[in-house]
Homo-oligomer: A and B are copies of this chain.
Amino acid sequence: MSQPTALDLPPVDPLPPATEAYFAKCVEKLGFVPNVLRAHAFDIAKLDAFAALYNDLMLGASGLTRLEREMIAVVVSAENRCFYCLVAHGAAVRTLAGDPALGEALAMNYRVAPLDPRTRAMLDFAVLMTGASATVEDPDRARLRDHGFTDRDIWDIAAVAGFFNMSNRMASAVAMRPNPEYHAQGR
């Protein structure tokens, strides 16, 4: 199997049993181990910290649906032009929404996507945070509340948008390569 990044950081060998089990579960559910996990496997503490944060944000309890969280992931990754995350999370949006064109629109220019005003406001906030976070002020948060988001929802929007601003940069910095299986998903 090819290296998941441009860095020469081979995985711990053998992997600890818990990691083996986690990767086996990925294969079972997705058909492969996402390269972002393989990339972290040179240091199990790092892999576990990354996976714990990711799973809490993207799969944990939240007022945001899983699709909403994936939509944020895609528009943030589009702003940052992160190939890895656009491929992986574009596939997730296509699959969860059952709508290939929506996944494409969010990856290319979310402003053209047919979105309800609440979703649009959520994505506008994520894009503002991505490109000009120092300018976020009370009226920006108030706009989210006007669309029915709670303060807990605002935290979650900010946390997901923040997370992909981290992982987009990490992926680009180490030239992380998306698993080829993503391209055909949800088309």
Contacts and interface: CB of A to CB of B under 8 A. Distances in A.
B183 A101 contact: yes
Nearest to A142: B6
A134 B60 CA distance: 29
Number of copies of this chain that the complex holds? 6
A158 B170 contact: yes
Interface in A143-187: 151-152, 154-155, 157-159, 161-163, 165-170, 172-175, 180, 183-184, 187
A133 B101 contact: no
A18 interface: no
Interface stretch (A23-31, A44-52, A63-71): A44-52
Given A7-B154, A107-B107, A130-B169, 18 more contacts: A7-B141, A7-B151, A7-B155, A45-B60, A48-B52, A49-B49, A52-B53, A53-B53, A80-B133, A81-B133, A82-B108, A83-B104, A86-B108, A109-B172, A154-B173, A162-B166, A162-B167, A187-B187
Interface of A: 6-9, 42, 45-46, 48-50, 52-53, 56, 60, 78, 80-83, 86-87, 100-101, 104-105, 107-109, 111-112, 125, 129-130, 133-138, 141, 151-152, 154-155, 157-159, 161-163, 165-170, 172-175, 180, 183-184, 187
